[in-house]
């Protein structure tokens, strides 16, 4: 039986990897993947806590997070396609006409 | 088998039902019945939807009830905010009616999206549960990502939407992880029960029992997420770019609505759930507010693009509004509500003037385009001057009283240093707001800008200017309402 603390530590590690991914990578698709990693790390923590406390609220939130993440990625990829059509790049550093 | 349903009172979510219902209906009506090229009708229908939402609030007035197992609450605080949000949405729709076809970006979905975003504002004002607050924040964000990119295929709009989405999703990650940690500590996502947990912990607190560490870390993550949404320094980097790239009515809408709704949810969280751990978060929020006031106002000084300048100024104003929250007093909440109303009317009015000057294919956002406006369009220039004075906080405008109230509230709560920073930054702000007025009245026109004055937008500007003056002279019209909201919050 794996103690729930291990799951929480794993989720913290995954969350950190996700944050670092967003901060360090420059490709928009990889950025989306990193954000997904952050959200799923939170899901893992929620499920672990819900299991430990034998409480259902955390699992309910997980379903909402999954659906929200799907909606967010749908909008994000649609935007990415439109940007790719105009600029032929997915590198976020190359898409920067707004400055100041 | 017996399944016990909790008591639900549909009346509590009546405004939500009406606004989301009309948004969904409008999507279908727009798709099947409104001919392309005549999407203004959708706009008028959206205004009708907002009107019904406002009317739905009337029978709830004075009610104080929570339902759906304590997830949603209706009280005067929420209803007052609803009125402000409906005004914001209505002005946004009216100023978009002519702007969208002029820019060649008229799509019927614009108006339902505004309704969805407004619905999420209402949801945020009414919810007392972290799951609902998360849903509200995300619904608001996702609709705004789409609205920001609405001027597709203009690259600046796409780019703004992309930046907004990446940073917004990043903030959402922090928010969910913060909720997960709070939940891990307290076993609940209900704000009232979090407070119960904390008071219990406090009363049983001995050296052997550690403090609510997980909850504080989670709270910090949630605060980061909110700082992104409200654009508090240092989480404001996206603001100038996004506000400049987005279609102007959308910029106006999110510069006031998002801040108001996110702060309303933040107020619920800190006043309901976290009053016992005040020492942990009040100083943090105070420092964020101070940094926001300084960076926002100093950043605006260097701008020659008026739209971008207003973006920086809205960052600065976020700092002033937060003063009302960190005061943690009845006066603070009153000041927050009044400041939100005054700032919304002023900022929407200022953006409406920019929209009037904005032509298809070229943007009249440069300071030069305002030169000599006082000769060519005296009334428009006077209205713009009034909005600038109100943003700068010069009497007798509503903006002045708003600033006065938040400063007074912060002073009473012993945050003198914060008030000092606020006053100094306001003085800096006067410089760049006055610069526009000087350009309008004391310079010769540099190039010819034909204002697109339609009747609806002229009236909007006139009404906004009138309201700014009215609340400047007679704040009691609104203060009374704000005071009752505070009683409802138990402040």
What CATH code is carried by the domain that includes residue A70?
1.10.287.3510
**Nearest residue, CB atoms, A15 vs list B177, B183, B302:** B177
Dihedral of CA atoms A84, A86, A92, A97 in degrees, nearest 10, equals -170
In a domain, A100, yes or no: no
Q: Is residue A14 part of a domain?
A: no
Is the CB of residue B167 less than 8 Å from the CB of residue B225? no
| A64 contacts B162? CB cut-off 8 A | no
CA B337, B134, B294, B388 torsion: positive or negative? negative
Q: What is the mean pLDDT of residues B218-247?
A: 92
Range of the domain at A59: 26-91
Name the residue among B131, B142, B169 with its Cβ closest to that of A64.
Answer: B131
Asked if B145 reaches chain A (Cβ–Cβ under 8 Å), the answer is yes
Asked whether residue A5 is domain-assigned, the answer is: no
Note whether residue A81 is domain-resident.
yes
B305 phi, psi to nearest 5 deg: -90, 120
Provide, rounded to the nearest whole percent, the portion of chain B with pLDDT above 70: 96
Q: Which of B151, B217, B207 is nearest to B181 (CA)?
A: B217
What pLDDT score does B383 carry?
94
B157–chain A Cβ distance below 8 A for any pair = no
- Nearest-CA distance A1 → chain B (Å): 20
Q: Count CA atoms within 13 Å of residue B235 on its CB side.
A: 25
Count Cβ atoms below 10 Å from residue B401 Cβ, excluding itself.
Answer: 24
C-alpha–C-alpha distance, residues A7 and B488, integer Å: 41
CB pairs < 8 Å spanning A and B: 142
User: Does a structural domain hold residue A38?
Assistant: yes
- Contact residues for B80 (Cβ-Cβ < 8 A; gap 6+): B337, B481, B482, B484, B485
Nearest residue of B to residue A74, measured between CA atoms: B142
Instruction: Measure CB to CB from residue B170 to each of A11, A35, A64 and give the nearest one.
Output: A35
Give the pLDDT score at B285: 93
Of B174, B180, B241, nearest to A98 by CB-CB distance is B241
Residue A44 lies in a domain: yes
| Contact partners, residue B383, CB within 8 Å, separation at least 6 | B349, B353, B461, B462, B464, B465
The string of pLDDT tens digits covering residues B133-158 is 999 999 999 999 999 999 877 888 88
Q: How far is B273 from chain A (nearest CA, A)?
A: 17
Q: Please give the Cα distance from B403 to B471 (Å, whole number).
A: 13
* Structural domain contains residue A71: yes
- Pick B459 or B203 by higher pLDDT: B459
Domain count, chain A: 1
Contact B308 A11 (CB under 8 A): no
- Predicted confidence band at A100 (pLDDT cuts at 50, 70, 90)? very low
Hey, is the C-beta of B159 within 8 angstroms of any chain A C-beta? yes
Q: How confident is the model at residue B106 (pLDDT cuts 50, 70, 90)?
A: confident
> Is the CB of residue B375 less than 8 Å from the CB of residue B443?
no
B250 touches B148 (CB < 8 A): yes
What φ, ψ does residue B424 adopt, rounded to 5°? -65, -45
Helix or strand or coil: residue B436? Answer: helix
- Per DSSP, B365 falls in state -
Classify residue B106 as exposed, middle or buried by CB count within 10 Å of its CB (0-12, 13-18, 19+): buried
DSSP B326: H
* B153/A86 CB distance under 8 A: yes
Chain A residues inside the 8 Å CB shell of B189: 57-58, 61
Residue B6 has pLDDT above 80, yes or no: no
What's the CA gap between B149 and B146, in Å, rounded?
Answer: 5
DSSP string for B66-104? EETTTTEEE-HHHHHHHHHHHHHHHHHHHHHHHHHHHHT
Q: Is residue A98 part of a domain?
A: no
| Residue B451 pLDDT exceeds 80 | no
Whole-number mean pLDDT of chain B? 89
């Amino acid at each position: 039986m794996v103690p729930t603390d291990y799951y929480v530590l794993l989720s913290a590690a995954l969350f950190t990897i996700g944050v670092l991914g967003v901060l360090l990578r420059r490709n928009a698709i990889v950025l989306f993947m990193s954000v997904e990693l952050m959200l799923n790390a939170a899901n893992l923590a929620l499920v672990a806590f819900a299991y430990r406390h034998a409480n259902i609220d955390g699992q309910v939130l997980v379903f909402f997070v999954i659906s929200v993440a799907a909606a967010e990625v749908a909008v994000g990829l649609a935007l990415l396609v439109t940007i790719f059509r105009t600029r032929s790049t997915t590198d976020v550093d190359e898409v920067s006409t707004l400055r100041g | 088998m017996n399944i016990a349903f909790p008591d639900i009172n549909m009346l509590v979510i009546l405004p939500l039902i009406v606004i989301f219902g009309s948004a969904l209906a409008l999507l279908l009506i727009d798709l099947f019945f409104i001919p392309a090229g005549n999407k203004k009708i959708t706009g008028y229908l959206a205004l009708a939807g907002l009107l019904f939402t406002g009317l739905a609030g009337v029978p709830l007035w004075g009610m104080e009830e929570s339902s759906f197992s304590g997830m949603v609450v209706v009280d005067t605080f929420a209803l007052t905010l609803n009125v402000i949000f409906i005004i914001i949405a209505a002005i946004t729709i009216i100023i978009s009616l002519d702007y969208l076809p002029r820019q060649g970006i008229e799509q019927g979905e614009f108006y339902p999206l505004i309704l969805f975003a407004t619905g999420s504002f209402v949801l945020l004002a009414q919810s007392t549960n972290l799951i609902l607050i998360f849903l509200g924040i995300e619904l608001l964000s996702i609709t705004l990502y789409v609205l920001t990119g609405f001027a597709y295929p203009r690259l600046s709009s796409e780019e703004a939407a992309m930046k907004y989405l990446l940073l917004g999703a990043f903030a959402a990650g922090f928010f969910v992880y913060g909720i997960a940690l709070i939940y891990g500590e307290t076993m609940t996502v209900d704000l009232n029960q979090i407070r119960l947990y904390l008071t219990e912990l406090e009363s049983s607190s001995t050296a052997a029992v550690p403090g609510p560490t997980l909850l504080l870390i989670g709270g910090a993550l949630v605060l980061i997420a909110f700082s992104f949404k409200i654009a508090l320094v240092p989480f404001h980097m996206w603001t100038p770019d996004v506000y400049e790239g987005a279609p102007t009515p959308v910029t106006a809408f999110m510069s006031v609505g998002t801040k108001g709704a996110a702060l309303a949810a933040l107020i619920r969280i800190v006043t309901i759930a976290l009053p016992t751990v005040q020492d942990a978060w009040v100083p943090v929020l105070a420092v964020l507010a101070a940094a926001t006031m300084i960076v926002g106002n100093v950043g605006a000084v260097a701008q020659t693009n008026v739209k971008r300048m207003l973006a920086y100024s809205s960052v600065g104003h976020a700092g002033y509004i937060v003063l009302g929250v960190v005061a943690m007093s009845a006066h603070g909440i009153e000041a927050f509500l009044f400041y939100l109303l005054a700032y919304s009317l002023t900022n929407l009015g200022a953006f409406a003037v920019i929209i009037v000057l904005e032509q298809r294919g070229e943007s009249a956002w440069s300071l030069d385009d305002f030169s000599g406006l006082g000769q060519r369009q005296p009334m428009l220039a006077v209205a713009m001057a009034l909005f600038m004075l109100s943003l700068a906080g010069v009497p007798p405008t509503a903006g002045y009283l708003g600033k006065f109230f938040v400063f007074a509230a912060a002073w009473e709560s012993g945050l003198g240093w914060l008030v000092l920073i606020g006053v100094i930054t306001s003085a800096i702000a006067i410089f760049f707001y006055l610069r526009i007025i000087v350009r309008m009245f004391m310079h010769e026109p540099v190039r010819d800008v034909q204002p697109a004055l339609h009747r609806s937008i002229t009236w909007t500007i006139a009404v906004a200017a009138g309201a700014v003056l009215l609340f400047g002279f007679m704040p009691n019209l609104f203060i009374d309402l704000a005071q009752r909201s505070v009683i409802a919050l138990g402040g």
